[in-house]
Structure 1
């Protein structure tokens, strides 16, 4: 099982140089045996708001690292022309000497589609088409598109990428159909535990690998990458107190985003139906306790060796450690020595 770093900061939690933790963490990952650094695509909300364009952050990371893969987690495919995606990531591939990788998502928030309003209704159907076109462009094929005069022209991308194949994942929040789609496309899966437990994830992974076998042969295992919020220390109780406040506020920011999807305010409820602050805080505290005990890498190295054993047993290939959820950046950087210990102990186990 591989280990990577994942970023998804709430912009409200960023002080000073907003990208210092991204750059410092990437340098640490690059020199300590981690496999990759992931940055997302987010728009028009503080939740994830530091990362509107993973190709830009990926280009920056390419200049300060030498070994780790530089990945988008994720590119929202229906927001962009396939040529734009292929060109941007070919530049990242060249800057990094062949270390680029992209997870594709269909998108879910209607406001994001300010960038392409017509793409919202067909976002799920267009995902596979975008993946196919980016693959063909990446491999040097000419692909026909209409130009400004309404004529169809053959387009190739420049610069040519370094890697002959672009490593690809499909991002899933837990939908079994998305896991199966990834299998049919021969891509990896990028997922999380925010809406699914480990037992459910095991079923999704099994379905993914069944599709892979059917469409791409029994030898194709693919890759399952699981994002987990991560902060490790020497004492479990101390870690819990350090992360409780930041993680709870991170969950609050996430809940605000999701409620906006459902109609504004608290899921479009009338004032009389709105939960009180006390009720909201109870729900957040309950969610924090669940994530701390069974949905994250929070705590100590021994605690999380057991977590890794559970994940390995269900077929997870990579743990993408989300480290920028609001804890002080210096504390996060100090904690990475414990994460590296966890990585080392897992890698060296009998």
Structure 2
């Protein structure tokens, strides 16, 4: 398995420190053999709000790195014109010497669609159509569009990218149909464990591999986002991550409730007492610390990685920016690097 860094947390870093972790973490990844740096797209909310445009953050990462892949995790396709996506990422591909990749998502938060409200209802089909158009533009094909005079014109996007094909993933929070679609279309799959268990993931990855092999050569690529903090002492790690990760879960409560349906079926966050919400968050924290994240010591991490290898995960996208103290997170990267090296030489 490869190890990448993934950024998508609350807006907890104030002032000029907001992007220090992104850039210094990217430099660390670049010089220590990590596979990729992933940044998301998020609007109108503190949760992920530091990253409204992954092409902009990708350009910043390109300027301070030389080797590591630079990926969107994700571009919310229905919020953009496909030409703009192709233009922006082709530019970053040139800036980086051909290191970009894009995971596309249909979007999940209705408020984000204040940018393109007409696309919300049909966002999944819009995503499929957008990916197809972006990939054609990436190959320097002409696409037919309508200009300001209402005339049909054939246009090609500039600049030409370095890579002849755009490395492409489809983002899914666990929808089995998305896994099958990614396999059929020859895309990678980017997923996470907020809303699905490892047992669920086993079946979906197997389904993805089957559909991929049926339509294409190779086996595809499965990237799994995991919240990550590795240290020297498990109890100390738990102490460091407990409050910030609980706050992270609180800010994404809708996904937590979906994940907890087996425990509390049919629950509605608006009707829950504050005490019930806190209980649910504590239960969720315990679950993710023990089985849904990459937390603890290097030895703890090795056990988690063994289970992920059995599932068929190709890359662990380590989400690191939920802990607010930048120096603490950067110091923890050396333990994550030790885990990566031990895994590669086991």
The two structures have a TM-score, normalised by structure 2, of: 0.95
Secondary structure of the corresponding residue to residue 150 of structure 1? coil
Aligned counterparts of 1:127 and 1:103: Cα–Cα separation in 2:
11
Structure 1 residue 267, shift from structure 2 partner: 4.8
Structure 2: gaps (5+ residues): 258-266
Aligned counterparts of 1:268 and 1:338: Cα–Cα separation in 2:
37
5 Å matches for 1:137-216? 137-216=137-216
Structure 1 residue 14, shift from structure 2 partner: 4.3
CA contact (8 A) 1:176 1:204 kept: yes
Structure 1 residue 327, shift from structure 2 partner: 3.8
Counterpart selection for 2:337 from 331, 336, 340: 340
Structure 1: gaps (5+ residues): 260-265
Q: Are residue 249 (structure 1) and residue 241 (structure 2) matched?
A: no
**Cα RMSD over matched residues?**
1.5
Alignment correspondent of 1:18: 18
CA contact (8 A) 2:58 2:71 kept: yes
Aligned counterparts of 2:106 and 2:66: Cα–Cα separation in 1:
31
CA contact (8 A) 2:195 2:256 kept: no
Structure 1 residue 256, shift from structure 2 partner: 6.6
Secondary structure of the corresponding residue to residue 189 of structure 1? strand
Counterpart selection for 1:331 from 314, 317, 328: 328
Alignment correspondent of 2:117: 117
Secondary structure of the corresponding residue to residue 280 of structure 1? helix
How many matched pairs?
Answer: 337
Structure 1 residue 171, shift from structure 2 partner: 0.1
Structure 1 residue 12, shift from structure 2 partner: 3.7
Structure 1 residue 178, shift from structure 2 partner: 0.5
5 Å matches for 1:88-103? 88-103=88-103
Structure 1 residue 253, shift from structure 2 partner: 1.0
Structure 1 residue 275, shift from structure 2 partner: 2.4
Aligned counterparts of 1:108 and 1:36: Cα–Cα separation in 2:
24
Counterpart selection for 1:297 from 284, 294, 299: 294
Counterpart selection for 2:277 from 277, 280, 283: 280
Secondary structure of the corresponding residue to residue 23 of structure 2? helix
Structure 1 residue 109, shift from structure 2 partner: 1.3
